[in-house]
Amino acid sequence: MKKLSALIAIVVTCMAFVTITNKFNEGENPEFIYPSKQRTGNAAIGYTYLTTGDYLKSGIPYSLFFMGAGKDTNNFLNRTGNNKNLAHDFTAVKAPNGELIVAPNCLQCHAQVFDGKLIVGLGNSLTDYTINRQGTALFAEKFLKTLSGENAKKYEAAKNFITAIKAIAPSLVTTTKGVNLADALAALLVSHRDPQTLEWSDKNLLDLPTEIIPTDVPAWWLLKKKNAMFYNGFGRGDFGRFLMASNLLTVTDTAEAKEVDSHFNDVLAFINSIQPPKFPKAINVAMASEGKSIFMATCKKCHGTYGEDGSYPNLLIPESIIKTDSALYTSNYSNPQFVNWFNQSWFTSGDHPAKLVPYRGYIAPPLDGIWVTAPYLHNGSVPNLEAVLNSKKRPKYWQRNFTQPSYNYDIPGYNYETKDVPGNNEVYNTTQKGFSNEGHYFGDKLSDAQRRSVIEYLKTL
Ligand code: HEC
Ligand code: HEC
């Protein structure tokens, strides 16, 4: 019986795929992403591990951390004990030698304060990676090395963390606030590690380019629909394996990696349980309904349908059709070192392996909660939905306020000022490599009124 229903599911999926792809006639066809088997887990346990767990086992000694950062009084996550006075994006954990340390957690990039409330799972578009943190790491190292007696254990507990930050920080600097460098970070982390044993080497083992490719962090609530991870859909196989890759920052050996990995089925269950926040203002129902019809005719084939019996097509859209900035996917071909490292590494071993499958193009993402996830496109180059749907409205140089972010609920996205010249590190300069706002011209052929209606509909997702 089970087999029969599985067979029916496959047949139905294939039929859906055939009808979907038939509608594309501009050159190369989109590619359907087949699902891969995932581990199951417990969302509540996953949440606790995510916000209090020791997936990084090295960091800054607790007392030293407070000297630098001070106490955080928000306690957005309502954590207790040693985490009570830490910002939501740091966790206090015991290092293997028993020292209490503070390590960054996933919410550095995967949570953001929006209108005074922390939204866990919202990609953080307010981070500042324009500063080289190497100096801070060197300072901490120098200070900790002067400690002796019992306190010498503090240096031991911080060593893996400091070594990694020292080595990678100079290459992790971007020109612009708000964009994320996780892709470069991943490549840098593996470049210092043996693929099989995961042992650290001070020497950079891969010859990596120094270019910085910016990304905008995707919302976690989208993953439950997707058959592949990441913008270019290259994350295949067991998702938990990718989720735990942050452990590469400080991991000592594969025994530790295996232990950390054994928690990430639960973290995945938590991520899959997150719902997008609802649009908080009034929606014009008649306009939204008009917008839905336009969406069904123009956008559905790539972005799917929504509501109770919604369906998501899981398509990769080739470069010839999408035409958005190519730097992110191109780098996997011009510099295949990262993909090669991963595909012969510990991550591909065992009974729930993962692998990377590069593609020249991007996945058409689900649009749930799209109103809150500005800026848009994979590199965050477009400030609001109106400009996503009308390429003529996309600013070349634009600046938003990072200290007091201001959101526009009308054409959802960030309020910004247009600039005539590139300017300081708060100005998004779309003429830089990887930062282009080209492509995704599917809304251009609509009238202004039609675009308004589609935006009204997008607010309901
Ligand atoms: C330094 C910032 C940063 C940190 C820390 C970080 N991530 Fe991410 N994460 C990103 C970025 C950027 C992407 C998108 C990269 C891409 O698609 O090319 C991403 C992608 C993902 C995705 C894929 C979403 C999708 O729809 O494809 C998941 C899930 C995820 N991260 C989970 C985690 C977990 C769990 C942790 C902690 C163990 C973590 N991340 C730590 C920045 C970060
Ligand atoms: C041929 C497939 C295709 C069609 C048709 C299409 N899109 Fe997209 N859309 C994509 C892809 C692929 C991306 C990701 C591009 C990138 O990030 O570089 C995307 C991105 C988006 C984004 C930004 C998502 C984000 O999180 O930044 C929005 C909003 C969007 N599309 C809305 C629409 C609407 C509305 C329509 C119909 C008017 C539409 N799309 C038609 C493929 C398509």
Alpha carbon distance 457, 461 (integer Å): 7
- How confident is the model at residue 152, as a pLDDT? 87
- How confident is the model at residue 130, as a pLDDT? 87
- pLDDT above 70: percentage of residues in the chain: 94
Q: CB–CB of 181/174 below 8 Å?
A: yes
Q: Check if 241 has its Cβ closer than 6 Å to any atom of ligand 1.
A: no
Q: Check if 99 has its Cβ closer than 6 Å to any atom of ligand 1.
A: no
**Among 50, 93, 107, 110, residue to substitute to test ligand 1 (most atoms within 8 Å of Cβ):** 110
Residue 35: pLDDT over 80: yes
Residue 9: pLDDT over 50: no
- How confident is the model at residue 144, as a pLDDT? 86
| Residues 119-172 pLDDT 10s | 999 999 998 888 888 878 888 888 888 888 878 899 999 998 898 888 888 888
**What is the pLDDT averaged over residues 199-203?**
87
| CA of 324, closest atom in ligand 2 | 18
| Residues 73-120 pLDDT 10s | 999 999 999 999 999 999 999 999 999 999 999 999 999 999 999 999
Peptide bond preceding 276 in cis form (omega within 30 of 0): no
Residue 241: pLDDT over 80: yes
Average pLDDT in the chain: 91
- How confident is the model at residue 53, as a pLDDT? 95
Instruction: Provide the pLDDT confidence category of residue 186 given band limits of 50, 70 and 90.
Output: confident
* Cα 216 to ligand 2 centre (Å): 15
- How confident is the model at residue 10, as a pLDDT? 45
b/e per residue 296-324 (b: at least 16 CB within 10 A): eebbbbbbbebeeeeebbbbbbbbebbbb
Q: Whose CA is nearest to atom 3 of ligand 2?
A: 302
Residue 12: pLDDT over 90: no
Could you count the other beta carbons within 10 Å of the beta carbon of residue 26?
8
Q: Whose CA is nearest to atom 3 of ligand 1?
A: 109
| CA of 222, closest atom in ligand 1 | 26
| Residues 381-401 pLDDT 10s | 999 999 999 999 999 999 999
Alpha carbon distance 92, 54 (integer Å): 8
- How confident is the model at residue 132, as a pLDDT? 82
Which position has the token pair 């097509």? 313
Q: Which of 7-21, 32-46, 409-423 has the lowest mean pLDDT?
A: 7-21
Q: Check if 388 has its Cβ closer than 6 Å to any atom of ligand 2.
A: yes
Q: Is the dihedral of CA 198, 202, 208, 213 positive or negative?
A: positive
Alpha carbon distance 61, 93 (integer Å): 10
| CA of 443, closest atom in ligand 2 | 38
Which is more confident, 9 or 345? Answer: 345
Alpha carbon distance 290, 453 (integer Å): 6
- How confident is the model at residue 25, as a pLDDT? 52
Which is more confident, 185 or 330? Answer: 330
Angle at CA of residue 101, ends 100 and 107, nearest 5°: 130
